[in-house]
Structures are given as C-alpha cells and as structure tokens.
C-alpha cells in the first residue's frame, strides 16, 4: 500500500528551498508546492528528487515526472541527467542524505518544535514507543503499528517512513499541537539516511540481537547502523540498556555534553527486578532516582526492560520519579506484543510479534514463568519468506527446546 502524501505548506521559492546546496538563481521565478521522489505520484508544482534506487534510478522517470507537472528536478550527482529538459535541473552530491534536510526546510523544520524521541534496537521499539505515547502529554507515534496519535493511527508501510513522508508527518503533528513524538527508528532507516534532517531530543537503545542480516553484512554492521542515531548532533539525552554490552558503542557515538541514563536488571542508574505472577509482574525499582514497587499487568521479564526504558526516558524528560512510576502502573499491553486474549474455559492465548531467535526465546521463557505447575505451552510460529534464512533453524531449535508442542506455519511467504 502506498502511503498518502501529507498536506503541503504554502509554495516556497525554489531558490530559497535549495539555498546553500545548489545555486538556483537561474530559476528565481519557480516556486515549489510539494516534494516527490516517485514519478508515479508527482503533482503539479512538485520538485522531483531523482534518487539512485536499488532496481531503477530517478532519471529514468524524469519525463514522467515532468509530464505530471514537476516544476524542477534535483538529481543525484551519480546519475546522468538528460542533456535538455523543459524544467530546471540541478545536480547535488548524495541526494539520498539530502532528501530529509530539503523536506525539513520545506515544512519549516518541524522537529525543532517537537521533542522527538528515537527508539532503536532489535526488540522493544514498538512497546516503548506506545508506552511513551501514553505517558507523555500530546505524544504522537511513528512506527510499525501506524502513525498518528494513540487511538488514531494510520497504517504504516515501514517502521520508519521515507524521508519526505517523515517530515510531512512531523509537520502534521506540530500543526496538531503535539509536544512529543515517539519514533521507532529502524536500522534500515538509519543506513538509508531516512532520518537525516530530524532534530532528535532523546535516543533510546533497547538491545541488539540476530535480525536483519539479510540486509546488513553482519552484527557489527548492524550495530554501526544503530549507532548513527546516537551521533545526532542536537541529541540532548540517551537512554541505554546497560545489560547489553553493545550499548557502550552507542555511548561512544554521542556528542560531548549529552546526558546518559543507563538502565538494567543488574547494573545502571535505574535498576529493576520482577516476579512473574498470574496477573502480571511485580516489579521492584531502585537506583539513583529512588526506590519503588510497581504492579504491572504486563507479562514477561523483557517487558520489565521495556518499562525501564520508558521510565528512563520519562526521567530524562524531567518527569518526577514517583509520578513516572505511577504512569507506568496502568499501561496496557501493545497489540501483537505479548497481547493476551482470554476466553472463559479456554486456554490463554498470547499474540506476539517475536520474529527472531532472541525474541522467540524471550517470549517462551516469559510465558513458562507465568504457567501454573501443571500447565502446557504450545507455540505456533513461522519465518517470513524471502528474508534471512539463517535464523530459521535457530528459531526452530528455540521453539523445540522451550515449548511442549510446536506448530510451524507460513508467515508472509512473499513469493
């Protein structure tokens, strides 16, 4: 599904929009009413951005974009523009990285008016973003489950939107009175520089596990992509999982002066321990901010990590410790994230997105802890088609070891 384009602001002079990147004085009378990098979706008045693609390049579609009404085109320097065109063409190096800053300028630098919280990590991004949206005032969400305000999410095609759409969303949130945005930031998005132009206030690192190795060369390359978020120059604070040694790589990427809060079960500025109970988790918190006991309806020790990440983010946002703990106590589960479905007289059904070996192991281990003494644990899972075949055997081993019965099914075969 192709996402809807966000409403555009008033037309901007092309020379103003591109100032500092290219000299557009020769097109001083041209104004831009929108931005587009897909020739099939160009509208009259758009600036077309011709970006190199994996399968095709933007210059191959220039004629289509111009015929649809593009008033000018910005072309990546690695591409060969046509010798002549009916609209102004400008060449720039590394247009992929420049898309976000151009869009940010076009929409009036929307992230500068918001407290944007970027959450990255293999697991926990969706839960933490939804928890934050329920704990912070006027907090919008950008992520896997959709984009918008809680209870009003529009479906998303990517965890982190395309850079043009991303800036459009941020502008829409700003104009709707948002104060905060909790954004899931994927490694793909960071590697593809989709978040360039976003002024992040806080970055959260949850963990790093075996995932997306069909895209990244290895775990080191995967971690390097994650670290890009923490190198954001405007970043004010970082919240790091101290129990994951990769977090120190994130800390090393920070600019001097950024505040760092570490959380964990065994170490950190903020620590937590939990007991699994039939109704959820009983959590004891301690650390530099004080001590507290928290009863949560959530299941699983990994949700303790998600709650600690959320609590740490609230604390660096200057929410008082006691107030932050109270906000966490009523948080419900996130759909597809250890989501419970209860029917009288039937087994408890739990739906979780666990799609890699560490996540599946965490889910099954957590559920085993909540079982009654004579309870049985059945696992139904599949692995996405045309993606990372290396994890399939590992997930099968995890399921066979930790569940009493295993059912392997299709999961988005793709081809």
- Structural domain includes residue 54: yes
Q: Give residue-wise pLDDT tens across range 145-187.
A: 999 999 999 999 888 999 999 999 999 999 999 999 999 999 8
Q: Are residues 72 and 124 in the same domain?
A: no
Bridging pattern class, strands 89-92 and 115-120: unpaired
Q: CB of 226 within 8 A of CB of 124?
A: no
- Of 328, 350, 371, the residue at which a domain comes to its end is 328
Largest CA-CA distance found in the chain, in angstroms, rounded: 78
Q: Are residues 241 and 345 in the same domain?
A: no
Burial code of 291-307, b = ≥16 C-beta within 10 A, e = fewer?
Answer: ebebebebbbbbbbbbb
Please report the pLDDT score of residue 157 as a whole number: 86
- Of 298, 328, 358, the residue at which a domain comes to its end is 328
- Structural domain includes residue 415: no
Query: In Å, how far are 108, 149, 357, 359 from 207, measured between CA atoms?
Result: 34, 26, 13, 11
Q: What is the pTM of this model?
A: 0.87
Counted domains in the chain = 3
For residue 22, the 8-state DSSP code is S
**Residue 300: left (phi > 0), alpha (psi -120 to 50), or beta?**
left
- Structural domain includes residue 360: yes
Q: CB of 189 within 8 A of CB of 160?
A: yes
Q: CB of 238 within 8 A of CB of 223?
A: no
Using CA atoms in the order 173, 175, 179, 180, what is the torsion angle rounded to 10 degrees? 20
Q: Are residues 218 and 243 in the same domain?
A: yes
Q: Are residues 249 and 145 in the same domain?
A: yes
- Of 292, 309, 328, the residue at which a domain comes to its end is 328
Q: Are residues 97 and 119 in the same domain?
A: no
- Structural domain includes residue 1: no
Q: Are residues 145 and 195 in the same domain?
A: yes
DSSP3 helix / strand / coil % (the chain, rounded to 5): 35, 25, 45
Nearest to 302 by CA among 365, 350, 394, 351: 365
Residue 369 sits in which domain range? 339-408
β-sheet bridge partners, residue 335? none
Please report the pLDDT score of residue 216 as a whole number: 43
Q: Are residues 115 and 251 in the same domain?
A: yes
For residue 388, the 8-state DSSP code is -
Sign of CA dihedral 298, 303, 307, 310: negative
Q: What is the pLDDT along the chain (415 residues), one digit of tens a residue?
A: 345 566 778 899 999 999 999 999 888 899 999 999 999 999 999 999 999 875 555 567 899 999 999 999 999 999 887 777 899 999 999 999 999 999 999 999 999 999 999 999 988 999 999 999 999 999 999 999 999 999 999 999 888 999 999 999 999 999 999 999 999 999 889 989 999 999 999 999 999 975 544 554 567 888 888 999 999 999 999 999 999 999 999 999 999 999 999 999 989 999 999 999 877 899 999 999 999 999 998 998 889 999 999 999 999 999 999 999 999 998 988 888 899 887 888 888 999 988 889 889 989 999 999 888 888 999 999 988 877 888 889 999 999 999 999 999 988 888 7
- Collapse the DSSP code of 34 into the 3-class scheme (helix H, G, I; strand E, B; otherwise coil) and give the result: strand
E runs forming strands in 64-191: 72-76, 89-92, 115-120, 139-143, 146-148, 180-184
Q: Are residues 350 and 227 in the same domain?
A: no
Q: Are residues 162 and 282 in the same domain?
A: yes
Q: Are residues 171 and 288 in the same domain?
A: yes
- Structural domain includes residue 166: yes
Query: Which CATH number covers residue 350?
Result: 3.90.190.20
Q: Are residues 257 and 379 in the same domain?
A: no
- Cβ neighbors of 224 (< 8 A, separation 6 or more) are none
Using CA atoms in the order 168, 174, 179, 182, what is the torsion angle rounded to 10 degrees? -10
- Structural domain includes residue 2: no
Q: Considering the chain, what percentage of its residues have pLDDT values greater than 70?
A: 95
- Cβ neighbors of 234 (< 8 A, separation 6 or more) are 199, 200, 201
Query: Which CATH number covers residue 276?
Result: 3.40.1190.10
- Structural domain includes residue 82: yes
Q: Are residues 150 and 76 in the same domain?
A: no
Find the length of the chain.
415
Please report the pLDDT score of residue 217 as a whole number: 56
Query: Which CATH number covers residue 79?
Result: 3.40.1390.10
Please report the pLDDT score of residue 2 as a whole number: 44
């Amino acid at each position: 599904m192709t996402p809807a384009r966000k409403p555009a602001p008033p037309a901007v002079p092309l020379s103003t929009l591109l100032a500092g990147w290219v000299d557009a004085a020769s097109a001083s009378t041209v104004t831009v009413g929108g931005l587009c990098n897909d020739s099939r979706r160009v509208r009259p008045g758009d600036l077309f951005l011709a970006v190199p693609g994996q399968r095709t390049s933007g210059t191959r579609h220039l004629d289509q974009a111009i015929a649809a009404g593009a008033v000018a085109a910005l072309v990546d320097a690695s591409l060969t523009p046509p010798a002549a065109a009916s609209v102004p063409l400008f060449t720039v190096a590394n247009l992929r990285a420049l898309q976000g800053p151009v869009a940010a300028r076009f929409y009036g630098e929307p992230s500068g008016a918001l407290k944007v919280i970027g959450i990255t990590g293999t697991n926990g991004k969706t839960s933490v973003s939804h928890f934050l949206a329920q704990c912070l005032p006027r907090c919008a969400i950008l992520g896997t489950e959709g984009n918008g305000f809680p209870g009003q999410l529009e479906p998303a095609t990517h965890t982190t939107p395309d850079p043009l759409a991303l800036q459009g969303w941020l502008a829409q949130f700003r104009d709707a009175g948002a104060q905060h945005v909790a954004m899931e930031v994927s490694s793909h998005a960071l590697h593809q520089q989709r978040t360039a132009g976003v002024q992040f206030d806080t970055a959260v690192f949850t963990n790093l596990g075996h995932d997306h190795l069909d895209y990244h060369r290895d775990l080191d390359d995967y971690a390097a992509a994650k670290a890009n978020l923490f190198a954001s120059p405007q970043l004010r604070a970082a919240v790091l999982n101290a129990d994951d040694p990769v977090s120190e790589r994130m800390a090393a990427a920070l600019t001097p002066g950024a505040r760092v809060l570490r959380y964990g079960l065994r170490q950190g500025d903020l620590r937590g321990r939990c007991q699994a109970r039939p109704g959820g988790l009983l959590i004891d918190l301690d650390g530099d901010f004080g001590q507290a006991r928290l009863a949560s309806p959530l299941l699983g020790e990994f949700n303790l990590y998600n709650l600690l990440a959320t609590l740490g983010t609230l604390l660096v946002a200057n929410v008082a410790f006691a107030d932050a703990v109270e906000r966490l106590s009523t948080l419900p589960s996130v759909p597809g994230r250890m989501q419970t479905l209860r029917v009288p007289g039937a087994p408890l059904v739990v739906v979780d997105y666990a799609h890699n070996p560490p996540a599946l192991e965490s889910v099954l281990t957590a559920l085993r802890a909540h079982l009654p003494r004579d309870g049985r644990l059945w696992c139904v899972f599949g692995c996405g088609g045309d993606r990372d075949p290396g994890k399939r055997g590992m997930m099968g081993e995890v399921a066979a070891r930790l569940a009493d019965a295993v059912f392997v099914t299709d999961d988005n075969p793709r081809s």
